[in-house]
Amino acid sequence: MKKYTDTGKKDTRSGFGDGLTELGRKNPNVVALCADLVGSLKMQDFIDENPERFFQVGIAEANMIGIAAGLTIGGKIPFAGTFANFATGRVYDQIRQSVAYSDKNVKICASHSGVTLGEDGATHQILEDIGLMKMLPGMTVINTCDYNQTKAATLAIAEHQGPVYLRFGRPKVANFTPADEEFQIGKAVHLLEGNDVTIIATGHLVWEAIQAAEQLAEKGISAEVINIHTIKPLDEEAVLASVKKTGCVVTAEEHNYLGGLGESIARTLVKNHPAPQEFVATNDAFGESGTPEQLLEKYGLNAEAIVKASVKVISRK
């Protein structure tokens, strides 16, 4: 079984910040906007190096999305950053009309997604954003798993023509993907080969999925682990090939089971190859205050929950 090593805990938002800084140096058309959360989004280095290419809009996210759309007229590639909650739900109509329907090349960069935002509680912990964004025609939806992947994704989306929602988080988590791995939008990453169950995870739960596979191996269960960083467009081919082999699937995400990755996988399977599926996701609930670890445990979003779901789904084959 292939081994993955945590090279040192880092936050995915720093991957975004460092990717943006690199973009600032290599692509003069990249500009950045923020709604009073520069420190949280790790945008200061970009600002220091490119003050004329940064737009501080204040606490006015609707205006930020509109300005970002306008900046594309004139050839700029805007990266608009704020918390996931304020980057989606608060400005859904602005994204819908001024960005998605208008086909503007805006990159919506959303930090502090999911419950792992922690102590700030449910007002700030959006668990619906993947659903909101994936329903918009033409929107690419990406949820990265660690620092390296977030940095690589930040660089990759600048090269992609069209609106993108890039989702990442606040806490320091295991950094285990290769630093030099190319980020291919829409391409699943096979992390572990297995035969008994397919575990498809996104974001922070990818590392938990790897831990779960190791625990399952101890029980004599062989799990295949796939990292779906791009929820839309979905790599259906990779999903189907794996589930055809294992015969069942567990999906894992820091998001409501309604509207999330699991729902996209379920749709793909129902249309092409029906198979038992279990959802590791929040159960139509809001979050609450607590540490990230406590919240992941309480809402059933960790390796232990993935192991349980795997055992259950195998029994349903």
Partner 1 sequence: MDIKQLENFATQVRRDILRQVHKVDSGHPGGSLGCTEFFTALYQEVMQHNPEFNMDGIGEDLFFLSNGHISPVFYSVLARSGYFPVEELNTFRLINSRLQGHPTTHEGLPGIRVASGSLGQGMSVAIGAAQAKKLNKDSHLVFTLHGDGELQEGQNWEAIMYAAGNKVDNLISTIDLNGQQIDGSTDNVLPMGNLRAKFEAFGWDVLEIENGNDLKQVINGLNEAKARTGKGKPVCILMHTEMGHGVDFMMHTHAWHGKAPNDEQLEKALAQNPETLGDY
Q: Which is nearer to partner 1, 92 or 286 (CB)?
A: 92
102 lies in the binding site for partner 1 (CB under 8 A): yes
Site for partner 1 in 29-88 (CB under 8 A): 31, 52-53, 55, 57-58, 60, 62-76, 78
103 lies in the binding site for partner 1 (CB under 8 A): yes
Return the half-sphere exposure (C-beta side, CA atoms, 13 A cut-off) of residue 20: 32
CA distance 126 to 200: 21
The distance of closest approach from Cβ of residue 33 to partner 1 in the complex, given in angstroms and rounded to an integer, is: 9
Q: Which is nearer to partner 1, 50 or 116 (CB)?
A: 50
- Asked about 61 being catalytic, the answer comes back as yes
Q: Which is nearer to partner 1, 31 or 117 (CB)?
A: 31
Q: Which residues pair with 110 in a beta bridge?
A: 82, 167
Interface size with partner 1, residues (CB under 8 A): 32
Q: Which is nearer to partner 1, 77 or 295 (CB)?
A: 77
From the candidates 22, 52, 61, 293, which is the catalytic residue? 61
| Tokens coding 82 | 């704020």
104 lies in the binding site for partner 1 (CB under 8 A): yes
Cα 50 from chain centre? 27
Angle at 121 between CA 115 and CA 36, to 5 degrees: 95
Write down the residue that tokens 């929602």 correspond to. Answer: 165
Cα first-last separation, the chain = 24
Write down the residue that tokens 């993108």 correspond to. Answer: 164
Chain contacts with partner 1 (rule: CB under 8 A): 31, 52-53, 55, 57-58, 60, 62-76, 78, 93-94, 96-98, 101-104
